[in-house]
Amino acid sequence: MGKIKIGIHQHVFTSKINEQNISVLDLAKDIGFDSMDINLRNTDFDFAKVIRKKAEKLNFVLTGGGSLPKGKEIISSEKQKREESIEYMKEIVRKAFELGIELYHGLIYATAGVFTGEGPTNEEFEYSAEGLKTVANYAKKYGVHLCLEPANRYENYLINTVEDALKMVNAINEPNVGLLLDTYHMNIEEKDMYKSIVSAKDNLFHFHVNENDRGIPGTGHIPWDDVFKALKEINYDKIVAIESFVDSSIDLASVVAVWRRLSPGAEILAKDGYKFIKSISEKYKLM
């Protein structure tokens, strides 16, 4: 059995990596991280190769997050809008490829922050499955996998739970489509974190460790022992990435509803979070 890698989301440090702050990769490596989640939406296409080279030099694995923004509506009743969102996702796939990224994850099955005031319809579910199947087939040529991240009820209404997400994965039925689970969303939507994680089994491609308030992991009330016991149970050997939004830009903050500082600073969150995740991973013999 392999070992898990501990990663960190770039949002802990910045909403956009550019020439001025690309040293956040060195900082993360120095702390001990082996991986970083890159914001695929905000990364400039021209700068992707620079980030890729830097990551290769540091022997760093990159993954890519990119929730569907407003205006890109994969479950719209209008065909043209659905097609536009598919084209947008194809472009993100090409960008992931430029970055050397194999995982494109996030709230990608619907539009973040867009609601109808009602629950999802069968038609919306079908539109999402159909669109994602098209993108998944396109992504195969680039060696990119799609990871659906069930997100809480305040961020979308189509997929809130692991059960919803597994239904979607089965409906799409492509080998390069799986799940990203996140303890922050699960804490709101799941009754039993251990059972939910175990139910994802081999469909689990990526994992976000978030405290219940999205602050430093280990300082709140997420049942971490249940989480890591479950990861051990399914022999999870991929990446466990810390996600937070300490220094996020305002546009992103409004989608994830972060209105206060969640830790004394990015570096402290990264260091203390790493220490905690490493120690609990070792406790459950995951590394």
Binding interface with Mn ion (CB under 5 A): 182, 208, 243
CA-based nearest residue to 159, from 211, 212, 228, 105: 105
Residue that is written with structure tokens 């206060």 in the block: 260
Shortest distance in whole angstroms from residue 117 CB to Mn ion = 25
User: Considering beta carbons, is residue 11 or 82 the nearer one to Mn ion?
Assistant: 11
With contact defined as beta carbons under 8 Å apart, do 66 and 90 qualify? Answer: no
> Of how many residues is the chain composed?
287
Shortest distance in whole angstroms from residue 118 CB to Mn ion = 25
User: Does the annotation count 87 as an active-site position?
Assistant: no
Q: Could you say which of 73, 102, 124, 149 is catalytic?
A: 149
Q: Could you say which of 124, 155, 189, 243 is catalytic?
A: 243
Phi, psi of 180 (to 5 degrees): -115, 120
With contact defined as beta carbons under 8 Å apart, do 13 and 24 qualify? Answer: yes
CA-based nearest residue to 196, from 168, 160, 246: 160
Query: What is residue 201's DSSP assignment?
Result: G
Phi, psi of 105 (to 5 degrees): -130, 170
User: Considering beta carbons, is residue 66 or 131 the nearer one to Mn ion?
Assistant: 66
Supply 105's token pair: 């994850």
Cα(73)–Cα(127) distance, integer angstroms: 10
User: Considering beta carbons, is residue 134 or 160 the nearer one to Mn ion?
Assistant: 160
Shortest distance in whole angstroms from residue 182 CB to Mn ion = 4
User: Does the annotation count 98 as an active-site position?
Assistant: no
Shortest distance in whole angstroms from residue 242 CB to Mn ion = 10
Shortest distance in whole angstroms from residue 149 CB to Mn ion = 6
DSSP characters over 24-72: HHHHHHHHT--EEEEETTTS-HHHHHHHHHHHHHHT-EEEEE-PBPTT-
Supply 172's token pair: 């799409």
CA-based nearest residue to 32, from 286, 284, 285, 279: 279
User: Considering beta carbons, is residue 124 or 243 the nearer one to Mn ion?
Assistant: 243
User: Considering beta carbons, is residue 29 or 208 the nearer one to Mn ion?
Assistant: 208
User: Considering beta carbons, is residue 82 or 105 the nearer one to Mn ion?
Assistant: 105
Report the largest interatomic distance among the alpha carbons of the chain, rounded to a whole angstrom. 51
Phi, psi of 68 (to 5 degrees): -70, 125
Shortest distance in whole angstroms from residue 37 CB to Mn ion = 8
Q: Which residues are catalytic?
A: 149, 243
